[in-house]
Amino acid sequence: MRIDPCSFCGRPTYIKGITFVRNDAKCFRFCRSKCHKNFKAKRLPRKVRWTQAHRMKAGKQMIVDSTVQFAASRRNVPVRYNRELVSQTVRAMGRISEIRARRERAFYKKRISGKRAQEVIENRKLVAQSEHLLPRLQEKEMRAFDTGDSVVLRAKQKSKVFGTERKKLRARIDGSVEEVSQQTDGFNDIDMG
Amino acid sequence: MIQLKTMVNCIDNSGAAVVECIKVLRKKGPARIGDRIVVVVQKQRNFGPESGTNSGIANKVRRGDIRHAVVVRARKEIQRRDGSVIKFDDNACVLINKSGDPIGTRLNGIVGAELRNKHWSKILSLAPLHL
């Protein structure tokens, strides 16, 4: 049995999902109800971000490659059974998928390579735009920031302890002793003093 | 899911365009692909002044006729033996006579492959494609 790609998202539709046959005899295979629902809602796969069609359009997928062509092309010519051919084909399938995985990895790396630099540029732009929100920097820190070194901002000084906690021991009638903590703020202390 | 009062498209050249189901035969519950139903012809094909010349050939049935029919496409999804689930665009049927032979001589449109299991081979041979 042939495993066709999903008409909406492009994943392989193993035996799952629904086949919809239009009256002009065109078959639409869907891998899951998510794709079927989106099809019924008349969404365009190219405009929906999670589909294969969109990824191809956006240049996120390897399209032009000899290994991709194997999956895409349909060969309807029946071949006479040949033991040698079958074993060769099975061997080739593994090898092709191996090559394809490696090429896809390379493609991904190439696509993603400039991302870090781009992020840094964008972050700097954001800092420059909202500079007025930052705490005022010292000369040394400013220099470090411009050169791109790691910046250690001045640690904020801890505020002095204000007020004290008093502990009282209260003797009860039944003989037990209860501990009572009492918090006072500084103002009262001053007044009392 | 074709039951009493369901309007079904007729895809043969018997002259009926839309028929209404009035009975599902030999089955409890709604009819699906391959089931036999009784219908009333509600709309005729080629109905008009220009059909007067070849009315004898074109229209074997008239509006209001009660006929038997076989469901060949259903909108309700159906699960096949191989596990796949399939559904069609509309509900469609083919008119037959009491002995099970199609009244029309041609079909325009695909039919479901479930007909094969139910021995509607005459309809299958008329159909352009079965899926």
Q: Is B99 a domain residue?
A: yes
Q: Does B99 touch chain A (CB under 8 A)?
A: no
Q: What is the pLDDT of residue A88?
A: 95
CA distance A101 to A99: 5
CA distance A138 to A186: 34
In this predicted model, what pLDDT tens digit does every residue of A23-56 receive, in sequence order? Answer: 999 999 999 999 999 999 999 999 999 999 999 9
For residue B30, the enclosing domain spans 7-126
* Burial class of residue A187 in the structure, from the number of CB atoms within 10 Å of its CB (0-12 exposed, 13-18 middle, 19+ buried): exposed
Contact A186, A192 (CB under 8 A): no
How many distinct helices (H) and strands (E) make up chain B? Answer: 3, 7
Average pLDDT on B45-58 reads 57
Candidates A7, A18, A36: best to mutate against B (most CBs of B within 10 A) is A18
Where are the domains positioned within chain A? 1-61, 80-134, 136-193
CA distance B94 to B102: 7
Q: Which residues from chain B sit within 8 angstroms of residue A17, using beta carbons? A: 85
Average pLDDT on B34-57 reads 75
Q: What is the pLDDT of residue A7?
A: 95
Q: What is the pLDDT of residue A193?
A: 42
Q: What is the mean pLDDT of chain B?
A: 90
Q: What is the mean pLDDT of chain A?
A: 83
Q: What is the pLDDT of residue A168?
A: 75
Q: Is B84 a domain residue?
A: yes
Closest listed residue to residue A21, CA positions, set A10, A13, A29: A29
Q: Does B80 touch chain A (CB under 8 A)?
A: no
Q: What is the pLDDT of residue A149?
A: 64
Contact B41, B62 (CB under 8 A): yes
Q: Is B131 a domain residue?
A: no
Q: What percent of chain B has pLDDT over 90?
A: 82
Q: Mention the CATH class of domain A1-61.
A: mainly beta
pLDDT at A190 exceeding the cut of 60: no
Q: Is B114 a domain residue?
A: yes
pLDDT at B93 exceeding the cut of 80: yes
Residue A180 pLDDT class (50, 70, 90 cuts) = confident
pLDDT at B51 exceeding the cut of 90: no
State both tokens at B56.
Answer: 């004898």
Closest listed residue to residue A67, CA positions, set A109, A111, A99, A106: A99
- The minimum CA-CA distance between B83 and chain A, rounded to whole Å, is 6
pLDDT at A183 exceeding the cut of 60: yes
Candidates A19, A30, A37, A39: best to mutate against B (most CBs of B within 10 A) is A19
Report the SS3 class of residue B68.
strand
* C-alpha B37: how far from chain center: 9
Q: Is B60 a domain residue?
A: yes
Q: Domain of B91: which CATH number?
A: 2.40.150.20
- Total domains in chain B come to 1
Phi-psi region of B48 (alpha: psi -120 to 50; beta: other; left: phi over 0): left
Number of residues that this document lists for chain B = 131
pLDDT at B103 exceeding the cut of 60: yes
pLDDT at A155 exceeding the cut of 70: no
Q: What is the pLDDT of residue B15?
A: 92
pLDDT at A154 exceeding the cut of 80: no
pLDDT at A60 exceeding the cut of 50: yes
Other beta carbons less than 10 A from residue B90's beta carbon: 13
Average pLDDT on A116-125 reads 93
Check residues A169 and A126 and name the one with the higher pLDDT.
A126
Q: What is the pLDDT of residue A150?
A: 61
Check residues A156 and A85 and name the one with the higher pLDDT.
A85
Query: Which element (helix H / strand E) includes A29?
Result: strand A27-29
pTM of this structure: 0.71
Residue A144 pLDDT class (50, 70, 90 cuts) = confident
Q: Which residues from chain A sit within 8 angstroms of residue B86, using beta carbons? A: 18-21
Residue B35 pLDDT class (50, 70, 90 cuts) = very high
Q: What is the pLDDT of residue B62?
A: 92
Check residues B65 and A75 and name the one with the higher pLDDT.
B65
Average pLDDT on B74-90 reads 94
Average pLDDT on A169-177 reads 76
